[in-house]
Amino acid sequence: MKTKVRKERARGFSLIEVLMASAILPTGLAGVLYLLGQTALVSRDADLSMQAAGFGSQLVEEYEAMGYEGLVAQTVTGLTRDRLTGTVVVLVDPVIQQTTITATVTWNDSHGRVMTREFHGLASKPPDP
């Protein structure tokens, strides 16, 4: 009569499996951490760009609200908000009775590059009654 001897399966991981996992896992984790860092930088740059858009629009709107009669040709520098710097140039054309307003906003992105965004507006003299 034959007796059946059952071999028990070895449980756990072999040394080769552990070594392979210890080589692969950190490589994958480093890639994920790099992507997270890049995502944070891109998000910061997008946030600064949105802030610049708001700041530039606000500057143009403030000068447009003064109207043609309240504006004189000028250049205003040193306007700041958070990490943004703004410059406003007002040009008056008395021939066509129109004022051109240009606001330039600059900031440094996450790589240290100087970024610039320009905004334009007009203020015209209202027609005589």
With respect to residue 8, please indicate whether it lies within any of the assigned structural domains.
Answer: no
The answer as to whether 7 is a domain residue is no
The structure's pTM equals 0.74
Whether residue 5 is contained in a domain is answered as no
Is 92 within the bounds of a domain?
A: yes
Domain count for the chain: 1
Q: What is the pLDDT of residues 105-118, one digit of tens each?
A: 999 999 999 999 99
3-state SS class at 40: helix
CATH number of the domain residue 74 falls in: 2.20.25.110
pLDDT tens digits along 26-78: 999 999 999 999 999 999 999 999 999 999 999 999 999 998 888 999 999 99
> Over 67-82, what HEC string results?
CCCCCCCEEEEEEEEC
Enclosing domain of residue 112: 15-124
Nearest 5°: CA angle at 53, between 123 and 78? 75
Average pLDDT rounded to a whole number, residues 87-94: 95
**3 belongs to a structural domain:** no
**Residue 9 lies inside a defined structural domain of this protein:** no
Model confidence band, residue 127 (pLDDT cutoffs 50, 70, 90) = confident
